Amino acid sequence: MKLHGYFRSSAAYRVRIALNLKGLTAEPAYLHLRKGEQAAPAYTALNPQKLVPTLEDEGAVLTQSLAIIEYLEERHPHPALLPADPADRARVRAIALAIACEIHPLNNLRVLNHLRDRLGLDEAARNDWYRHWVSEGFAAVEAMLAGDPRTGRLCHGDTPTLADVVLVPQVYNAERFAVDLAPYPAIRRIAQTARALDAFAAADPDRQPDAE
């Protein structure tokens, strides 16, 4: 397997965590997003969206981190990242999607660049945008976690699921942009618990060979 990514890409970070949880290794290939390497023709031939990550496995070229993780789940079912019960699976996916679909795309590098280059927003305004969407999204995720008895030491019970795999990278990003996380005690507690696990710790952006 080969994983095309970037140390700070939270979508690639999700896939690194999932690979580690499943005891899988992928040869890394690095693209420097701030230098625009995701737009190079050799890469867009693999990923026409010009986004990381992309996973290559046995001739298959896979894009979109959640599709990649579900592929890994199907190919390597143990340990499972989704619970057995359909309603529980839907809950775990809903937490993951609340982050991956409702928070992350609004704060992507290309969105922040557009706010700067086309709409003329200065850094303070861009940071305000960033923090607004994380805060609004995290308020909802906090309610989903704090208000549900199925929440345990982690998002769903005590073993890592897809929800934790998506939550931790978003918390890392929020910290980088100095989002106030005080209003989200369940998120903070769960992220701290998950990050202490080897699979999460080894996937941390600051521990990747391309980290700056």
- Pair of tokens at residue 116: 């700067």
Find the angle CA(39)-CA(45)-CA(48) to the nearest 5 degrees: 60
Residue closer to ligand GSH by CB (options 53, 160) is 53
Angle between helices 185-195 and 162-176 (to 10 degrees): 110
Cα–Cα distances (Å) from 210 to 29, 167, 178, in that order, read 10, 22, 23
Of 98-117, which residues contact ligand GSH (CB under 6 A)? Answer: 100, 108-110
- Least gap, CB of 161 to ligand GSH (angstroms): 17
171 contacts ligand GSH (rule: CB under 6 A): no
Q: Is 165 in the site for ligand GSH (CB under 6 A)?
A: no
Q: Are 53 and 4 in contact (CB under 8 A)?
A: yes
Total interface residues for ligand GSH by CB under 6 A = 15
Q: How far is the CB of 163 from ligand GSH (least distance, A)?
A: 15
Please identify which residue in 26, 52, 99, 171 interacts with ligand GSH, judged by CB under 6 A.
52
Q: Are 62 and 56 in contact (CB under 8 A)?
A: yes
Residue 97, both tokens = 């999607």
Residue numbers 15-44 binding ligand GSH by CB under 6 A: 33, 38
Binding site residues, ligand GSH, CB under 6 A:
9-11, 33, 38, 51-53, 64-66, 100, 108-110
